[in-house]
Structure 1
Amino acid sequence: MTAVRLAVSELRRLATGTMPRLAVLAMALVPTLYAGLYLYANHDPYENLDEVPAALVVQDEGTTTTDSVTGEETERTFGADVADELEDDGGFGWVETTQQDAEVGVRSGRFDAALIIGPTFSADLVSAGEFDPEQASLTLLTNDANNYLAGTIADQIVGQVRDSIAEQVGTEAADQFLRGFASIHTNLADAVDGAGQLLDGSRRLRDGTDDAADGAHDLAAGARRTAEGAATLDEKVGPLVDAVDRLDDGAGNLSSGLDDLRDATASLPADTRRLADGAQEVADGDAEVARYGRQASAAAHDVLPALDAVRDGVDTALADRLDGLVADGTLTRAQADALAADVQDQVTPVLDTQRAQVTDSVAQVDDASAQLDTLADGAQQVADGADSLADATPALADGIASAADGADRLADGTSRLAASTPALAEGVGRLADGTARVASGASDLADGTDRLADGSADLADGADELRDGLAQGLGQVPDLDDETRTDTADTIGNPVRVRDESLSSAGTYGGGLAPFFLSLAAWIGAYVLFLLVRPLSTRALVAGRSGLATALGGWAVPAAIGVVQVGLMFTVTKFALDIDPAHGLLTALFLVLVSGTFVAILQALNAWLGAAGQFLGLVLMLVQLVTAGGTFPWQTIPEPLRSLHRFMPMTYAVEGLRQLLYGGSLDAAGRCAVVLAGVFLGAIGATALAARRRRVWTVTALQPELVL
């Protein structure tokens, strides 16, 4: 009840006097004026596009098209068709003019855009039918200095015109193509009949040539067998002579080479043994050097303890000497300590530097010792390998000597064989020549009759395939009636139909912006309230009321005015602007929640920060303008603004209103309501803490640094 009494007291304060009442009424109307004017101005801007001036320049000279079936010629001027389509229903207020006037008009702002249709437009459109294709082009002239969106809309309009022209030209080309099939179908039918007659004659020719071929083959068979035997023998003997000669040469080369190898390897066993002995001596030397390296490493490691002992001795001697000087009165204890510190400052860095150098040297000696050990191991492995090689070389030398003796005997035998083979080859050659001439004549006769028989058979098969192929092709060539041909050409020219199915629809451009502008208006309405309403009651703070009661009492009055604000705004939106929500009651209740939450946020900012809080509320509104995703999808905004999207309360206000206004998901709207309710509770809690904190009056509270 304390919060209610505080709210009533604040309301009485605001209602005292005519000007305060008028101020409250004005603040109640601010959101309605803001959202109403914005939505009214942007209700359906596309409906009045015909008021936007645009220039149309038609330079098309037209072209002549020839029907591929009938040969009939037709004059076509597609540029005039485009102009008629744009002037009938082309979006803008198109004015046909010259290119010079259009360019001057776009530059000066008299025209927002200009479309130029070139002189070869029609000729380029039909050039594909002449197999000399050229893309037809439209020149769109825009000037963003006049209006950026006008240029964007002009791009869309010209794109629709281009699609319409492409559909028309594609349909006509498809119709010509399909009508050509009718002529092809008739000609193929005549070709099928001719192929049948050719097949009958070729079959009779094939039967006669088969009989002649059989006799010729019998004659050629005997002669061919004799010639083949003689030729085979001749083929065997000829390579035999060459092979025997190559064998003789190879045997001689092998014998000579093995003799040379035997002579060269005679001293190999002794040489490999000397190599093994030398490698062992190297390995022994490396092992001795490695042992010395390990001794040096051990000695180096003894240096560091000795150096540390010297340093400790110096420190002890210095301390004893200073104690003696103090004891005999030469120095005071303070002087002795100061002198000891000076000595330490000068001596210690030097000793540390020397010890670091000794440590580095010890590490280098350790590395060298490890490398010497590795070298010694490698040298021993080399010595072991050389010893194994020396053991194996005597057997290798004996094998080479045996191979040389065998090669000498092989060379003697191949020489005798090579001397006797030429006479054998000469006799076999004379026999092969005679039988080949006999077989050649018989083969020529048989080949001629075979070619004749094969040709007649191929002719019959080809005629058969020709007839079947033509018959099959005749069945595949479409023979369409006029209605089917027209429907098919229309489908080829425009193969895809887009069917627009919307799960929910905003209706108009203004309806699409309504969630954003209503949310923004609610924030502005809450913001202006605290230009007049105090966030916390001074009387309640002085009286020591509880923080929560004081916070709720300060929130209740602006929240009640906020209900009036959103009520007026909802009424104007629904009845005056004809934006009919899919869920009217839920939309109104959600707007009340949005307004109450925004009031709580701004109350908390004002309660904690005073005039700075009012400024921060304005900054927060600006941030939410670009992060709430009220116009473009929020995913399109850059970082770091995109990361703020989920943390701004207006995000959930816009999303919830979208679902309720357009008939979207009630679950999604409910989730947005839960988030806003959580923000409301957090803001009220923050205001309660501020009220509790402000029970203690400070100099800053009594005389603030900044007052708005």
Structure 2
Amino acid sequence: MIAIRLAVSEIRRISAGTLPKLAILAMAVIPSLYAGLYLFANEDPYGELHRVPAALVVQDRGATTTNAINGTTEKVDYGGEVAERLLRGDGGFGWVETTEGEAESGVRNGRYDAALIIGPQFSEELTSSARFEPERAGLTLITNNANNYIVTRVAETIVGDVRDTIATQVGTVAASSFLDGLSVVHTDLTKGVNGAQELVTGSSRLTSGTAELVDGTATLARGAEEAANGAARLESGAGELATGTRRIANGATTLSNGLEELKRRTGSLPADTRKLANGAQEVAAGNAKVAAVGDDAAEVAGAVVDQFRAARASLDEGLDSLVEQGRMTDAERDALLALFADAEVPVDAVAAQIESAADRLDALSRGSSEVAAGTEKLAGAAPVLTRGVRKAASGGAELASGSARVDRGAQTLARGAGTLADGTEEVANGAERLATSSLALRKGSARLETGTSELRNGLQDGLRKVPDLDKTTARDTAETIGDPVAVKEDTLAPAGSYGAGLAPFFMSLAAWIGAYVLFLLVRPLSSRALAANGPATRTALGGWIPPAVVGLIQVAVMFTIVRFALDIDPVYEVATVALLVIASMTFVAILQALNAWLGEVGEFLGLVLMLVQLVTAGGTFPWETIPEPLRSLHWLLPMSYGVNGLRQTLFGGEAWIIVRDVSVLFGVFVVAILLTALAARRQKVWTPKQLQPELVI
């Protein structure tokens, strides 16, 4: 009750007189003016874009397209279609068709806020893909940020919509042509399947015929090979025969020549053999005599050796006796024996040679006797041999003549057999090649049959995969391909308009401004209460209630104007009013605490804090886009919770978010009141600074 009495007393003080009442009234409507004017001005700016002048330059000369299916041509003018759509009001701005020079100068001097130029090759470039000479069509957008930056962004959005519309239209036409081509492909594939079936039938017959051909050529190859083998054997035998007859002929000739030579040389053979027989008898007699002399010499040599060895034995005994008698030393004895032994070697050798010579002479004597006997027989047989040689020579000549004739016949036979063998070999090789080729032909025809079957099956599969669309389905499909994505907006908490979307921010900001201006007139703490040394909390509440009451009037007027004059209909009206009241009470408490602690400096800090919250509250762009360190202040300052809470109550957001924001604001309110109470406790004692402040605003 004391706090209320203090509040009533303060209200009477500030409302005493006409001007103070007018001042309170002005303070009560300041938030409404601020929020109302801003929201009214920004209620639907996009709906008023037709008032923004923009230049349109159309230079497109059009293009001629050719239907790839039937070859017909068609004239298209995409630039003219774009211009027609923009000029009839579908392009947002108030478009005015003009020249390129006027458009550029108009954007430069501010007569136009933007200009769109459609170049002369626009339609040609859009249809270039159909000619497989793709070029991207271009639109030239001229803007001037010196006129208005926001208009530049809006112009870019509008041109983007125009581009999307053109892309949809061109894509639909291209898809329609593509589907028409598929229809033709389906028809041609049907013909291809029928033709492939005929190929399969023909290749099957070919495979059967080649199988019979393979059997016939195999039989021919076997017969030709047997003939070639026989001819080869004949050639080999004929060759061997020719070689044999050649050798026989040569041998017969040689034999005939030898027999003639033998006949010539054996003509004197009987007389010569007789002479030879007589000489051999004489030699045999002489050799017998020489052999007898040799035997005598051998006997004498053997006697000499025996005598030499007997003398050696006697010498050994005599020398041993002399050694025993001491008349000779062992060395002298050995020396004499060595000399005797040296003399014994040639004696033995000579004796051996004589005996060997005697043996050879005996053998010579026996051989000469045999030779003499043989020559005697030869002399008796020589006349008979001579007559036989003459007959053999005559037969050898006849043999040589006959074998020569046989040889000539065998050579002729060999040449004929070789020719026959070569011919039969060529026939066999040809038959083998024919058999191999026919086998390859059969394999090829089998592969051809398999390939044509695969071709037929593949064409059938392809035919099943190629759609055969009717005109309606083809049209709908082309439109879907040209514009495949439809964006379905599902706004969970719709604001309704651009102005309504900004209302939470401007209403929260207006509540802070309203609280701020109140302390230009209202004192944060009652001087009477401080002088009366009343409880600090009561003093704080007594100072807070008067501006809080005016704050309630402010939010009531502001809500009435926003709700009924601007037609912004909150989803949760009661919650919206309650949140505005709590926000106003909290803002008043914060500014009271700043003023109570710091006086004029606190009042200035209240202005600074408002400017900071203009940025950190996230009223326009998302607060996440704010750079640091301001982004970190978003959840630390109270206006953020006021803006966020009003979004939930105005647009129908989550209830738990409303509860959270209200709880935070109430917590800040309590802290601010406690800080003000602490300041009231300190100000019960007057200081020189209070009597004479350093700064007065």
Query: With structure 2 as the length reference, what TM-score do the two structures score?
Result: 0.69
Determine if the alignment matches structure 1 residue 107 to structure 2 residue 108. Answer: yes
| Alpha carbons of structure 1 residues 549 and 222: separation in structure 2 relative to 1, 3 Å | farther
| Counterpart position of 1:565 | 554
Over the aligned positions, Cα root-mean-square deviation in angstroms equals 2.2
Equivalence for 1:130 = 131
Q: How do residues 51-450 of structure 1 correspond to structure 2 at under 5 angstroms?
A: 51-88=51-88, 89-214=90-215, 444-450=433-439
Distance apart, 1:214 and its partner CA = 4.5
Instruction: Call closer, same or farther: CA 1:622–1:210 in 2, change over 3 Å.
Output: same
2:35 aligned with 1:46, yes or no?
A: no
Amino acid in structure 2 at the alignment position of 1:20 = P
Query: 1:476 aligned to 465, 490, 494, which one?
Result: 465
Distance change >3 Å, CA 221–CA 145, structure 1 → 2? farther
Aligned to 1:697: 686
Report if aligned partners of 1:57, 1:115 keep a CA contact under 8 Å in 2: yes
Aligned match of 1:8:
8
The sequence identity of aligned pairs, in percent, is 60
Separation (CA, whole Å) in 2 of partners of 1:675 and 1:550: 24
The separation in 1 between residues aligned to 2:462 and 2:508, in whole angstroms, is 69
Checking the alignment, whether the CA contact within 8 Å between 1:220 and 1:445 is kept in structure 2 is no
Aligned-pair CA distance for 1:644: 0.8
**Alignment match, 1:396:** none
Cα deviation, residue 205, structure 1: 2.0
Q: Does 1:544 align with 2:545?
A: no
Equivalence for 1:317: none
The 1-side partners of 2:458 and 2:449 are apart by: 14
Structure 1 CA distance for aligned equivalents of residues 78 and 546 of structure 2: 69
**Equivalent-residue separation in structure 2 for 1:600 and 1:123 (angstroms):** 69
Contact 1:607–1:691, Cα closer than 8 Å, also in 2: yes
* Separation of aligned partners in 2, 1:470 and 1:502: 50
Between the aligned partners of 2:595 and 2:426, the Cα distance in structure 1 is 124
Deviations 1:530-572 (A, max 9, x none): 1110100111111101110100000011001100000000000
CA–CA separation in structure 1 for the residues paired with 2:201 and 2:504: 84
CA distance in 2, matches of 1:30, 1:157: 37
Find the counterpart in structure 2 of residue 605 from structure 1. 594
One-letter code aligned to 1:550 = T
State how far apart, in whole Å, the 1-side matches of 2:458 and 2:189 are.
10
8 Å Cα contact 1:566-1:591 kept in structure 2: yes
Deviations 1:98-157 (A, max 9, x none): 000000000011000000000000000011000001110000000000010111101001
1:616 to 1:215, Cα distance in 2 relative to 1, 3 A: same
Aligned partners of 2:183 and 2:468 also within 8 Å: yes
Q: Distance in 1 between matches of 2:199 and 2:524?
A: 108
In the alignment, structure 1 residue 685 sits paired with structure 2 residue 674: yes
User: Where has structure 1 moved over 4 Å in runs of 4 or more?
Assistant: 214-224, 436-443
Matched residues in 2 for 1:5 and 1:449: separation?
127
> Offset of 1:200 from its aligned partner?
2.1
Per-residue CA deviations over 1:571-607 (Å, capped at 9, x if unaligned) read 0000001111111111111101000000000000000
Say yes or no: does 1:636 pair with 2:625.
yes
Secondary structure in structure 1 of the residue aligned to 2:65: strand
- Equivalent-residue separation in structure 1 for 2:23 and 2:625 (angstroms): 40
Q: 2:193 and 2:494 mapped to 1: Cα distance?
A: 61
- In the TM superposition, residue 439 of structure 1 has moved relative to its aligned partner by 10
Q: C-alpha offsets along residues 242-286 of structure 1, whole Å, 9 cap, x if unaligned?
A: xxxxxxxxxxxxxxxxxxxxxxxxxxxxxxxxxxxxxxxxxxxxx
Q: Is the 8 A contact 2:179 2:478 kept in 1?
A: yes
Larger CA deviation: 140-149 vs 477-486 = 477-486
1:675 corresponds to which residue?
A: 664
Q: 1:114 touches 1:140 (CA, 8 Å); kept in 2? A: yes
Q: CA separation in 2, counterparts of 1:582 and 1:18?
A: 40
- Indicate the larger mover: 6-15 or 210-219: 210-219
Q: Partner amino acid for 2:168?
A: E
CA distance in structure 2 between the aligned counterparts of 1:507 and 1:149, rounded to whole angstroms? 21
Preserved contact between residue 220 and residue 446 of structure 1 (Cα < 8 Å): no
Give, as a single letter, the amino acid of the residue that structure 1 aligns with 2:5.
R
* Residue type of the alignment partner of 1:512: G
Aligned-partner SS, 2:95: strand
The question of whether the paired residues in 2 share the 8 Å contact of 1:10 and 1:537 is answered with yes
Question: Is the aligned partner of 1:452 residue 2:453?
Answer: no
Following superposition, the deviation at residue 215 of structure 1 comes to 6.2
Deviations 1:290-331 (A, max 9, x none): xxxxxxxxxxxxxxxxxxxxxxxxxxxxxxxxxxxxxxxxxx
3-state SS in 2 of match to 1:697: coil
Q: Which blocks of at least 5 consecutive residues in structure 1 are unaligned?
A: 228-433
Please report how far the alpha carbon of residue 222 of structure 1 lies from its aligned counterpart in structure 2 after TM superposition.
Answer: 13
- Secondary structure, aligned partner of 1:567: helix
State the partner residue of 1:250. none
Deviations 1:7-32 (A, max 9, x none): 11111111211111111111111111
Alpha-carbon deviation of 1:181? 2.4
Partner of 1:583: 572
- 1:588-636: CA deviation from partner (whole Å, max 9, x where unpaired): 1110100000000000000000010000100100110000000110000
8 A contact 2:512–2:584 mirrored in 1: yes
Change (3 A) 1:203 1:558: same
The residue type equivalent to 1:50 in the other structure is: H
Letter of the 1:644 partner, please give it: L
What's the counterpart of residue 34 of structure 2?
Answer: 34
Q: Distance in 1 between matches of 2:54 and 2:218?
A: 90
Task: Report the more deviating stretch, 156-165 or 471-480.
Answer: 471-480
For residues 182 and 595 of structure 2, what CA distance do their matches in structure 1 show? 83
Instruction: Work out whether 1:652 is the aligned partner of 2:641.
Output: yes
Aligned to 2:401: none
Contact 2:638-2:665 within 8 A present in 1 as well: yes
1:178 is matched by which residue type in structure 2?
L
Change (3 A) 1:658 1:221: farther
Task: For 1:494 and 1:136, locate their aligned partners in 2 and report how far apart those are by CA, in whole Å.
Answer: 18
1:528 Cα shift?
0.6
| Distance change in 2, residues 1:442/1:20 (3 Å) | same
Deviations 1:322-365 (A, max 9, x none): xxxxxxxxxxxxxxxxxxxxxxxxxxxxxxxxxxxxxxxxxxxx
Mapped partners of 2:202, 2:28: distance in 1: 105
| Structure 1 range deviating more: 500-509 or 180-189 | 180-189
Cα distance in structure 1, aligned partners of 2:462 and 2:686: 103
Q: Quick one: which amino acid aligns to residue 567 of structure 1?
A: A
Tell me which residue corresponds to 1:502.
Answer: 491
Displacement of 1:213: 2.7
What is the Cα deviation at residue 34 of structure 1? 0.9
**1:593–1:677 CA contact under 8 A, matched in 2:** yes
Letter in 1 for 2:177: Q
Which amino acid in structure 2 is aligned with residue 682 of structure 1?
A: V
What code does the residue aligned with 2:132 have?
F
Q: Is the 8 A contact 1:115 1:141 kept in 2?
A: yes
**Residues 516 and 591 in structure 2, CA contact (< 8 A), matched pair in contact too:** yes
Count matched residues.
499
Matched with 1:615 is 604
Aligned to 1:525: 514
Q: How far apart, CA to CA, are the structure 1 residues paired with 2:123 and 2:512? A: 57
Aligned equivalent of 2:380: none
User: Aligned equivalents of 1:439 and 1:705: distance in 2?
Assistant: 133
8 Å Cα contact 2:224/2:427 also seen in 1: no
